[in-house]
Amino acid sequence: MLVRCLPLVLALPIAIGCTGEIGNDEDGGGGVGAGPSEHAFEPAAPTLHRLTQPQLENSWRDLFGEPLAIPADLPQDDVAYGFTSIAAANRTISSVEAEEYEKATYQILDQVWNDAARRDALVGCTFTAIDDPCVRSFLEDFTTRAWRRPVTSSEIDALVGLASTIATDLDDPTQGLKFGVAAVLQSPSFLFRVELGEPDPTSPSSYRYTSWEMASRLSFLLLDGPPDEGLRQAAQAGDLLTKEGVTAQAERLLDDPRTRAPLVRFFRDFMQVRNLDNLKKNVTAFPQFSATLGPAMRVEIERMFENVVFEEEGDFRQVFTTRETYLNEELARVYGIEGITGPDLVPYVFPEDAKRAGLLTTAGFLAMNAHDTQTSPTHRGRFVQINLLCQDIPPPPAGVDTSLPEPDPGAPPTTLRQRLDVHRTDPACAGCHARMDPIGFALEHYDAIGAYRDQDEQGLSIDSATEVGGEPVADGIELAALVAALPEVGACVARRFYEHAGGHLAGDGDDVSVEDLVTNFVDTDYDFKALVVALVTNDGYRYATPSTEEGN
């Protein structure tokens, strides 16, 4: 009996401390924008990037067209350092996952092969034997597109031989070709972005990505899928070995509506709003909570980003101060807005006197960084420090009790802010909490689901006045404006986009590249599209350091 994992024979032979205030990271704990680098330029080594679920699905659609039912039980994407793209780098495939990919491959192929007209249209002819020249021509074209590089004659010979052997065993050439195509789709050349690099003939000491590898780096960054015809032509011509060629293709793709979803996915990871899909709140405390509220909060934040970057094409930092948003009926209920009905999110502009402006005052950000029943100034401040400023906040020292003391039943009630004083007076906690809590205090007018309030759960008046980085801040609106103006924010966005695109944390050898990217972001008035072009033409993205591992 034929073993379906046989196509895997084509596997590639490749071995696979808290001090300072906001915006003042004197100890260098992950901070950015602190001045010129003292480290020499040394880009990351080439690596394998396993296709993420969206990339795999888009690759199948590119090869087979629609309609195409995508299997529901694909291996799940992991997250590392906040990004699925970083987790996908050097991500291996377990034996169980290999079986899942195999099963999915045949589910895809069955949809095409069970429709003779669709199958013959894909192949380009009605064939009766594997040795039909049309079959070899199809395999050459299909495999080049699937593997995202030119294929060799020996590789095609192996595929034709495999298909022929199976066709003979089954006495069915169409099934023989189906198993040959399955071999293509289960190869590491399909399931991974294989990037090996090559010596740069114009600079013997440099190692660059090939034109075809750059085509994949561009397409999977900006399309979440394989190179389109324009990229394949540019790769074949060697155009993607130059900054000018890469710029031309990047600018073309940025005008393509397909680019929106991958860049929104970056922002989803950057803001960690994927967590909103599993948001939990105490329904007794918040009867307006529902299973669909968290996902709606996520979409609101993502559409704010999309509007600023693609519709407005303005300063990226407007996402922290914009009054423009998108609401549906249940989100509007959280915001206390009437007149919006139904589940679809529609554009809405908060008036100038509203208590909302930008990301930090969205219900999604506020609810995500709060407990089930009450707010958490610490969580909210920590998110700003780590995720928006790229500052380091270490975990609490071992043995330190991080819980707040229970209120004395006989004592007058106290606000959460007052109870948090214990963390800012304890020497073991004060260094970090002094950096986090004041930021969160500015957001205390927003409860654990993001609704505005003047009193807390105990009926005590909210005091949101605080001081952040030496600047007085009255409330969330002033905090949003302050954060948007901090140079660390733009530097952090640029750095994290560099890490997302390359699939690795920036090391010392990346400092020069990151600094160049930050400078360009500032010089273009924080134009996010310009940041994309600057990234893909950056030497840290186009060049690599040869791996010294055996087998590479």
Task: Round to whole Å and give the CA distance between 119 and 181.
Answer: 12
Cβ neighbours of residue 57 under 8 Å, at least 6 residues apart?
70
Name beta bridge partners: 467. 472
Question: Is residue 220 domain-resident?
Answer: no
- Say whether both 72 and 185 belong to one domain: yes
- Say whether both 471 and 509 belong to one domain: no
- Say whether both 120 and 132 belong to one domain: yes
The predicted structure's pLDDT at residue 24: 41
The predicted structure's pLDDT at residue 282: 97
Residue carrying the six token digits 């198993």: 179
- Say whether both 521 and 459 belong to one domain: no
Question: Is residue 228 domain-resident?
Answer: no
In angstroms, the Cα distances linking 538 to 229, 272, 316, 498 are: 24, 26, 20, 9
Nearest CA to 335 out of 362, 367, 369 is that of 362
- Say whether both 129 and 168 belong to one domain: yes
- Say whether both 301 and 437 belong to one domain: yes
- Say whether both 97 and 158 belong to one domain: yes
pLDDT in tens, 156-210: 999 999 999 999 999 999 999 999 999 999 999 999 999 999 999 988 789 999 9
Spans of the chain below 50 pLDDT? 1-17, 19-31, 33-34, 550-552
Neighbours of 106 (CB within 10 A): 17
8 A C-beta contact, residue 498 and residue 490: no
Question: What is the value of pTM for the model shown?
Answer: 0.91
3-state secondary structure 446-470: ECCCCCECCECCCCCECCCCEEECC
The predicted structure's pLDDT at residue 402: 67
Task: Round to whole Å and give the CA distance between 319 and 327.
Answer: 16
Task: Round to whole Å and give the CA distance between 370 and 368.
Answer: 6
Query: Looking at the 3D structure of the chain, how many domains does it have?
Result: 3
Among the candidates 173, 194, 215, a domain finishes at 194
Structure tokens at 341: 């009905």
Question: Is residue 208 domain-resident?
Answer: no
Question: Is residue 256 domain-resident?
Answer: no
pLDDT in tens, 442-497: 999 999 999 999 999 889 999 999 999 899 999 999 999 999 999 999 999 999 99
Question: Is residue 305 domain-resident?
Answer: yes
Question: Is residue 479 domain-resident?
Answer: yes
The mean of the pLDDT values for the chain is 91
Structure tokens at 184: 């293509």
- Say whether both 455 and 535 belong to one domain: no
Task: Round to whole Å and give the CA distance between 531 and 527.
Answer: 6
8 A C-beta contact, residue 146 and residue 190: yes
The predicted structure's pLDDT at residue 550: 44
Among the candidates 194, 227, 248, a domain finishes at 194
8 A C-beta contact, residue 417 and residue 441: yes
Nearest CA to 214 out of 231, 200, 228, 202 is that of 231
Residue carrying the six token digits 């020069």: 512
Question: Is residue 172 domain-resident?
Answer: yes
Structure tokens at 101: 């990919």
- Say whether both 435 and 509 belong to one domain: no
- Say whether both 454 and 428 belong to one domain: yes
Question: Is residue 362 domain-resident?
Answer: yes
Among the candidates 436, 452, 484, a domain finishes at 484
The predicted structure's pLDDT at residue 428: 65
- Is the bond into 67 cis (omega within 30 degrees of 0)? yes
- Say whether both 522 and 474 belong to one domain: no
Domain residues for the domain of 274 are 261-395+417-484
Task: Round to whole Å and give the CA distance between 299 and 267.
Answer: 11
- Say whether both 495 and 387 belong to one domain: no
In 148-249, where do the E strands start and end?
A: 192-194, 198-200, 203-208
The predicted structure's pLDDT at residue 29: 38
Task: Round to whole Å and give the CA distance between 339 and 41.
Answer: 56
